[in-house]
Amino acid sequence: MASKNPFDPALFDENAVSTETKAINGALVELLEKSDDNWDIGVAEARARRDRGEGPFPLVPKSERAITRTIPRPGPGKGGDVELRIIAPENPKGVYLHFHGGGWVFGSADGQDPMLERIADNCGLACVSVEYRLAPEHPYPAGPDDCETAAAWLVANAKAEFGTEVLTVGGESAGAHLAAVTLLRMRDRHDYVDFAGANLVFGAFDLRWTPSARAFGDEPYLILRTHDLHKFDECFIPKGADASDPDISPLFADLKGMPPALFSVGTDDALLDDSLFMHARWAAAGNDAELAIYPGGAHGFVAFPGELAASAVKRMDGFLKQVTE
């Protein structure tokens, strides 16, 4: 017997978008259209401006509770260490392995300390955010390799470091992509399928780009344009690589044995279809999967003010609490 739709089609109706959300999106478009384009000024300059707080968005406060831990990259010729940023409560009941967003090109492990503090305090989880290598200096597979290294280290050391073996994983945008890839690598390369849950927030799961990503366009400039997606591809995927390789586009993977997952996405996001499609395949593979759709939510909306973001944050925290009980 066929089941009902996993979501209410009315969520996609323009009338479902609140006045507050429309105002926030309008303000974002106005702000971004007055800002220099990252690709015009170049990746290095865009990063430097962000670090100085000179981009369109203010610097995110750094946590005084955060500590840094480095772990070695395994294997001959790998060299260097992977840096982990840890924000933990007393007596954590689990660990949240986090990968930041930024199109595999921008962002850092210390760029979302308030969010990680919230998860640590609300959910009782030790948050471990990975400072993975960024493209274009370090294209695929460097970033995913670092994320896999961090996950394997946690599997071996979480009990000694945090007093718990309960592991969860998650991330936003490119970070959600890296979380999915890491889960698959841990299953296939390490025979580990015991993550308690995955919090996958407006992720990119098909790097050939889905219909919504292709059709979104470049105007108005609402956080993530089709042009940005193509530029991120150029930076992250080496020439000649197959973008449909499941290690690059996890939508194409065999998804059996994945943990319970919450997919969150707004309807005004170029990556909308990525979450719709990945949720469907996740569930079809026999895994528990939830899909949370937010009317009018832009890419990155959970970091903005307003009731829409607050409701998404509440549901994500509730999910992480539930899977770690």
Q: Is residue 98 among the annotated active site residues?
A: no
Helices 19-33, 307-323: crossing angle, 10 deg rounding = 100
Catalytic residue, candidates 108, 173, 249, 275: 173
Residue 44 and residue 84: Cα distance in Å, rounded?
Answer: 23
Residue 206 and residue 150: Cα distance in Å, rounded?
Answer: 23
Residue with tokens 């400072």: 131
Catalytic residue, candidates 98, 100, 177, 299: 299
Catalytic residue, candidates 110, 206, 233, 269: 269
Q: Is residue 177 among the annotated active site residues?
A: no
Residue 34 and residue 309: Cα distance in Å, rounded?
Answer: 24
For β-strands 67-72 and 81-87, DSSP reports them as antiparallel
At 271 the three-state DSSP class reads: coil
- 226-240 burial code (b ≥16 CB/10 A, e <16): bebbebbbebbbeee
Q: Is residue 173 among the annotated active site residues?
A: yes
DSSP E strands, the chain:
67-72, 81-87, 94-99, 125-131, 167-172, 197-201, 261-268, 289-298
User: Which residues are known catalytic residues?
Assistant: 173, 269, 299
